[in-house]
């Protein structure tokens, strides 16, 4: 895999962990969770596009 895809996967996992930590708070912040999920989805879309481009050029 490319370094970009590796970095994006690492970032996606970190955001996923942040969502889980936020959910474990006594009073989770729904706005923070929503923002994290939105960012995580954007990263997932970037991973998908990068993989498709890589497959198209292979």
pLDDT for the residue numbered 47:
97
How many whole angstroms separate alpha carbon 50 and alpha carbon 13?
17
**pLDDT tens profile 5-50:** 999 999 999 999 999 999 999 999 999 999 999 999 999 999 999 9
For 51, what's the count of Cα atoms within 13 Å in the CB-facing half-sphere?
10
pLDDT for the residue numbered 36:
98
Residue 18 CB neighbour total at 10 angstroms: 15
Specify the pTM: 0.88
């Amino acid at each position: 895999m490319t370094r970009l895809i590796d970095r994006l996967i690492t970032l996606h996992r970190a955001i996923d962990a942040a969502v889980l930590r936020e959910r474990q708070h006594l009073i989770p912040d729904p706005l923070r969770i929503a923002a994290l999920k939105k960012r995580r989805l954007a990263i997932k879309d970037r991973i998908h596009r990068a993989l498709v481009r890589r497959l198209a050029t292979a």
